[in-house]
Structure 1
């Protein structure tokens, strides 16, 4: 399960899914790689978590505990 620190991560995932469709996860991975190459480990981790969140949001069924 991805670790979501704030609402902005959901918003970023939703924007990527809207703008890139099925390629949203690849775009998040590319942004993570770019951040890593720039030496920005904080943004690298953020984009990796957003990538995982996109995968989770793309699933057709609920994952984990449902209340």
Structure 2
């Protein structure tokens, strides 16, 4: 199975959960908006971080486990 996402540290997960808490279903759009903003600023690192947070939000929104469960 292809890796769904990569998060370098806990702060990325915290940002994802904060977005879900603050924006609810609009968290995906907010993460995408932030990614676009950083891309336009030419900040590739922050752009990639926000794209990964988008992917984490997709996984967190699932009602069942995704990937390998130990």
TM range (shorter): over 0.9
User: Any stretches of 5+ residues in structure 1 without a counterpart?
Assistant: none
What RMSD, in angstroms, separates the aligned Cα atoms of the two structures? 0.4
> Post-superposition, which runs of at least 4 consecutive aligned residues in structure 1 deviate over 2 A?
none
Q: What TM-score comes out, normalization by structure 2 length?
A: 0.94
User: Any stretches of 5+ residues in structure 2 without a counterpart?
Assistant: none
Matches within 5 A, 1:1-67: 1-67=4-70
CA–CA distance in 1 between the matches of 2:61 and 2:7? 16
Q: What TM-score comes out, normalization by structure 1 length?
A: 0.98
How many residues end up aligned between the 2 structures? 67
